[in-house]
Amino acid sequence: MNIIVCIKQVPDTETKITIAQSGLDIDRSNISYIVNPYDENAVEEALRIKERLDKGAITVISMGPARVTEALRSCLAMGVDKAIHLKDESFEESDSYGTALILYEAIKKIPYDIILCGRQAMDDDNGAVAIQLAELLNLPHVSLINKIEIDETYCKATVHRKTEDNIEIIECKLPAVFTCHYGLNQPRYASLPGIMKARQKPFQEIDSDSLGLNKKEIGKAGSKLQVIKMEIPSARRAGKILEGEPQDVVKELTRLLREEAGVI
């Protein structure tokens, strides 16, 4: 059972975000980065599948600049077997389709039975890359799973996902792409032995030329989306508590809705 996990490095969720002078991106000068929390669920589930089956190999793959090495190393420390870093200046500013295309060119050369991704990235919240990757690979895709079972032949997976009122159970032929809901599991912490072993595990860097990519289809040149403006949301106004007799409260509430909120 060969499992590939796609991860993304994102700004630390505790970081205070500011907008760059260009108004088109966040200011990245003093930002710390982490593995996308949803992707950690995918890594953890890959580890659990391997432990249950007592066989197989897990490869974690990510696209990005030099700093992404840290995110990949942390996955190796959790127990992943191999890391692949897709690193090239031409990859920068790729939109979700460009990212999926780059991943596709790398993954199609690797043996796999399952591809796991997080439900979405914490920074852009698109949740599009995994679906586009599945389409490029011509694979079935099930999103937002919170349980997965592999049959004994490794040819089929049974996955669960929550709907508004029920639990949906889906049987899916393998290989396939799955995105993992945050409720799927609780990601483990890397142990000290795991951190030490991570330094000795295979770590491969792949550039654009090695993948044979057309640079007009990736990066800013190939992006099908354009950022017009980026800004911090306005601070939410404090709520008001109205006190007094019911008839007076109703009158004041009506006035506020009309004059301040402008909804009536």
- CB distance 104 to 136 below 8 Å: yes
**Span 17-25, mean pLDDT?**
85
What is the per-residue pLDDT across 162-221, written as a single tens digit (0 to 9) for each? 888 899 999 999 999 999 998 899 999 999 999 999 999 999 999 999 999 988 899 988
Q: How far apart are CA 261 and CA 210, in angstroms?
A: 57
**Span 22-43, mean pLDDT?**
91
- CB distance 74 to 100 below 8 Å: no
Per-residue pLDDT at 37 exceeds 90: yes
For the chain, what is the total number of helices (H) and then of strands (E)? 8, 12
> The whole model's pTM is what?
0.85
How far CA 231 is from CA of 22, 23, 225, 228, in Å, comes to 11, 7, 17, 10
Q: How far apart are CA 254 and CA 262, in angstroms?
A: 10
What is the per-residue pLDDT across 78-129, written as a single tens digit (0 to 9) for each? 999 999 999 999 999 999 999 999 999 999 999 999 999 999 998 888 899 9
Q: Which domains does the chain have, with CATH numbers?
A: 2-222 (3.40.50.620), 234-264 (no CATH)
Name which of 14-18, 42-46, 47-51, 198-202 the model is least confident about: 14-18
Q: What is the DSSP letter of 26?
A: B
Per-residue pLDDT at 263 exceeds 80: no
Arithmetic mean of pLDDT over the chain: 92
pLDDT above 70 as % of the chain:
100
**Span 49-54, mean pLDDT?**
92
Among the listed residues 97, 88, 118, the one whose alpha carbon sits nearest the alpha carbon of residue 10: 118
pLDDT of 60 reads 98
Q: Where are the alpha helices (DSSP H) in 33-152?
A: 37-53, 68-78, 96-107, 129-137
How far CA 261 is from CA of 77, 235, 252, in Å, comes to 52, 15, 12
Q: What is the DSSP letter of 85?
A: E
